Structure 1
Amino acid sequence: MVVAVCAFRLENVRRHLRHNLDQLNGDEYVVLLDRPVTPEAEKVATQVNEAGGTMRILGATRGLSASRNTVLREWADRHVLFVDDDVRLEASAVDAVRAAFRAGAHVVGARLRPPRELRRLPWFLSSGQFHLVGWHRDRGDIKIWGACMGVDADFARRQGLTFDLDLSRTGGNLQSGEDTSFIALMKEAGARECLLPEHAVVHDVDPGRLTLRYLLRRAYWQGRSEARRHQSAAGLRKELTRHRTAPESRCTPLLFCVYGAATAIGVGHGLLLRLRK
């Protein structure tokens, strides 16, 4: 199996390198950096290569979908576990993903949880907003998200499936949905899905994402993405349901209104942009 880190932040690649390599058992560890070549990037690439992994600097910022498509193209006959550069793997989760592939799965996902050292969340971030930072709730069902997403690249190649460049997060924009759209296409083509809610990896997101400003921007871009996917009504309903189902928070009605409004504005803006094309 190939563990593919489609990276944008050098500091994350460096921080999680040793830990993630220690969680593997005969797997290939590949880092694709979606940035121009710089002396600092070359230094980190040398560290990755010397530690036993492989790092390639793509030479320009083309977006997350382009990076993932490169992996699908160049490791087309392999099982691939895509992880974000801010994910800390757990050996049991990696073993479970590998076992799921061997049992015949084509798409596999594990639970994404916050770091245990993050003891207290700000009042404006409840479990109703966890999806905005890429966390699943502690209990219940999960969906496959791109931060930890297993894909049978050979199945995808035979079906002619790739990640949508129009939904790709590129640089600083917060567009999303290329991962879940790809998984939906795989399942429509007959892919067998395996969810592993009992196995978790840590999504160690940057503290800057735990601010109200970032979360509102992310909610807005979620709306933009739903409009781009032609799922404006269904996507808005999905988001509103998430925001109003946070039983642990006494601020749920307020959060529902604030984040719901941000998402609705994003949907509206997205629809306007589509009409102008």
Structure 2
Amino acid sequence: MPEKRLSLVIATYNRGAKLCTTLDSLLVQTLPQEQWEVVVVNNNSTDDTAARFADYVAAHPQLDARMVLETEQGVSAARNRGIAESRGEYIVVIDDDERVVPEFLERYYSLFESHPEVGAAGGRILPGFESVPPRWMSKYTERTIAGTLDLGDRMREFPEGKFFGGGNHGYRRAVVGRYGGYDTSLGRTGGVLLAGEEKEFYGRLRAGGERIVYLPDAVIYHLVEPERLTRGYFVKLCRNIGRSERRRTRTASRTAFAGRLAAEAVKWAGASVLALGFLLQGTPAKGGYLLIMRWQITAGLLGA
């Protein structure tokens, strides 16, 4: 097989239709096709994902894409399998419910080609709502639901307290050789909404001295279904964010967990002020859901 400089890894689980939407956005990439490949990792899907993918690649032979199976359940295990199966010197990771802009892969490729000092990067994540967002949504709750990440229009190193999103980041293969892959105890597993795998991975790279930059023009739109905009889903999501943070920091050290608890106290102070502001602006539902978010994350963090 010809050498590929860049490999795009997509883990998928029971999202056959969404996966095809993601693949559609890859057909118009500005990076020449001979430079990149797509590795889709089927993480035990029980729907028609495999059949849809087979039909898709048969209809679009110009797309260098293949599917592999990972039987260990979990997005982290699936991504690790994708890395192992890929051929590129540069690895870019997205999710199976996204649309990427035409310049997406070219931006990552150009960055790694022209900046040898950069070990990893993360791009802009914007919401792609499939229905009208509820009135209770603010930019703070949107960030939790859609994973929104927008640090402006210029490339720069990630500031303290920020990290790349799970559905839009990339790195050199050599980075994985130095630090290992994703922690399989973290990240979504089937229908369990755990998270934190990209944050833990980012932390290892940062602690190792890697230069990690924000890439504003590598934009993805995270497709958000109506069911993700319900109170029930929001509560479940936030509780599991707290559980993930508990697992991540307790695994690291007692000090890390204590620091996360202290940070949560600070977040509560900020959320309380913001909720009061929403109340005074006549939008109490936005403040109410901000407090629900904080309460559920705290409960998960404390082991509830």
With structure 2 as the length reference, what TM-score do the two structures score?
0.77
Aligned equivalents of 2:234 and 2:296: distance in 1?
A: 9
Q: Does 1:215 align with 2:234?
A: yes
- Shift of residue 66 of structure 1? 0.3
Aligned equivalents of 2:270 and 2:166: distance in 1?
A: 19
Q: Choose from 113, 117, 126 the match for 2:138.
A: 126
Change (3 A) 1:112 1:240: farther
- 74-83 or 259-268, larger mean C-alpha shift: 74-83
1:121-150 superposed Cα distances (whole Å, 9 cap, x missing partner): 212221111232233265657631111111
Match of 2:181 in 1: 162
Q: Does 1:3 align with 2:8?
A: yes
Aligned equivalents of 1:184 and 1:133: distance in 2?
A: 22
Sequence identity (%): 22
Contact preservation (8 Å) 2:145, 2:228: yes
Q: Choose from 261, 264, 269 the match for 1:233.
A: 261
Contact preservation (8 Å) 2:72, 2:78: no
Aligned residue runs from structure 1 range 183-202, under 5 A: 183-202=202-221
Q: Choose from 268, 293, 301 the match for 1:259.
A: 293
- Shift of residue 22 of structure 1? 1.8
- Shift of residue 237 of structure 1? 4.5
Secondary structure of 1:175 counterpart: coil
Contact preservation (8 Å) 2:235, 2:296: yes
The letter of the residue matching 2:293 is Y
Aligned equivalents of 2:271 and 2:8: distance in 1?
A: 33
1:26-61 superposed Cα distances (whole Å, 9 cap, x missing partner): 2212211111577x3332231343222323241635
Contact preservation (8 Å) 1:35, 1:60: yes
- 164-173 or 51-60, larger mean C-alpha shift: 51-60
Aligned equivalents of 1:21 and 1:255: distance in 2?
A: 39
Aligned equivalents of 1:241 and 1:130: distance in 2?
A: 19
The letter of the residue matching 1:122 is P
The letter of the residue matching 2:104 is A
- Shift of residue 97 of structure 1? 1.6
Change (3 A) 1:171 1:79: same
Change (3 A) 1:48 1:184: farther
Aligned equivalents of 2:235 and 2:211: distance in 1?
A: 35
- Shift of residue 215 of structure 1? 1.0
Q: Choose from 45, 58, 69 the match for 2:53.
A: 45
Gaps of 5+ in 2: 1-5, 153-158, 250-256
Contact preservation (8 Å) 1:48, 1:55: no
Gaps of 5+ in 1: 271-277
Secondary structure of 2:224 counterpart: coil
1:189-230 superposed Cα distances (whole Å, 9 cap, x missing partner): 222111023542111122211111111111111111111112
With structure 1 as the length reference, what TM-score do the two structures score?
0.84
Q: Which structure would you say has the larger Rg? A: 2
Match of 1:29 in 2: 38
Cα RMSD of the aligned pairs, angstroms, is: 2.7
Contact preservation (8 Å) 1:41, 1:57: no
Match of 1:147 in 2: 167
Aligned length: 267
1:106-125 superposed Cα distances (whole Å, 9 cap, x missing partner): 2111111112775x421222
